Amino acid sequence: MGLAAERVIDELDRLIEKYDLSRHPLWVLANQGKLTKEQFSHYIAQRWWFTVEFPAVLAEIMAKLRRDLQGRRRLLHNLMEEDLEPRDHISLYLRLARALGWTEDALRELEEIPEAVAQRTGFLSLMGGSSLAECLAIGYVTEGQTPKYHWIPKEVMEGEYGLTPEEYEWMTIHCEVDTEHGENYKRTLQAYLPATERECREVLRKAEEGLKLMQLFYDGCYRYFILGRGRGIE
């Protein structure tokens, strides 16, 4: 059966459902308030380089929208929220990491788990080797689903972790803005849906790869910091 361009968005929504990270064991625990402060702290630290590098990836996608002023402005809106001081996401992330006991130097020197390296470098090369439509689709499925899972109950963050709302704003803000960030990719993608079935399938394949990389990262965090396995041969 042929895959018409207009079905691509429906298929991307199906992929978001298939890789719904709220069903990932790490996020099931987190959403139920059962992630310890130490486990949460390890997860945050492992996100450091991806958090730093992500806005640069977004800027590269933007640069591909040479004559599409409207599309560029949508992604610029996303980029400004990620990168514009003083409430840029890296500063908010650092505030949270510091409250959990990390210094910036410690984050820079942290040994990344293999899955964090694979996810970060895989995501960069996936985006680097993809067409504009493919990049927008990857952005839509990965950022657009963040608010579905990325949360820990307030009582846990404040009561058990001892964090203030200002300190965990990095978590709150992603539940607020990433639905819109995802929509901005989706609206822009609608103008670039490819003409052939083969290209449409490639858009879906790349989007699924992006989702698999996200899942890989959480698999690694779960294995290392919750199951306590992962170093060397077992």
Q: Classify burial at 157, counting beta carbons within 10 Å of its beta carbon; exposed 0-12, middle 13-18, buried 19 or more.
A: buried
Instruction: Quote the strand ranges of the chain, DSSP E.
Output: none
> Least CB distance from residue 18 to Fe ion, whole Å?
21
Q: What is the DSSP string of 55-115?
A: HHHHHHHHHT-SS-HHHHHHHHHHHHHHHSSSS-HHHHHHHHHHHTT--HHHHHHPPPPHH
Which region, judged by CB under 5 A, interacts with Fe ion, from 13-21, 80-88, 105-113, 149-157?
Answer: 80-88
- Which of 204, 210, 185 lies closest to 11, judged by CA? 204
State the nearest-atom distance from the C-beta of 199 to Fe ion, in Å: 26
Q: Return the structure tokens found at 85.
A: 């001081």
Q: Which of 115, 134, 178, 219 binds Fe ion (CB under 5 A)?
A: 178
Q: What single-letter amino acid sits at 76?
A: L
Q: Which stretch binds Fe ion (CB under 5 A): 78-86, 92-100, 158-166, 216-224?
A: 78-86
Q: 202 exposed, middle or buried (CB, 10 Å; 0-12, 13-18, 19+)? A: middle
Nearer to Fe ion, 88 or 112 (CB): 88
Shortest distance (Å) from residue 117 CB to Fe ion: 20
Which residue of 181, 186, 206, 223 would you call a contact of Fe ion, by CB under 5 A? 181
Taking CB under 5 A as the rule, does residue 74 contact Fe ion?
no
x/- contact string, 121-150, with Fe ion (CB under 5 A)? ----------------------x-------
Stretch near Fe ion under the rule CB under 5 A, chosen from 21-29, 90-98, 101-109, 181-189: 181-189
Contact with Fe ion (CB under 5 A) among 47, 89, 206, 223 = 89
Binding of Fe ion by 169 (CB under 5 A): no
Please check whether residue 168 is in contact with residue 50, taking contact to mean a CB–CB distance below 8 angstroms: no
Site residues for Fe ion per CB under 5 A:
82, 89, 143, 178, 181
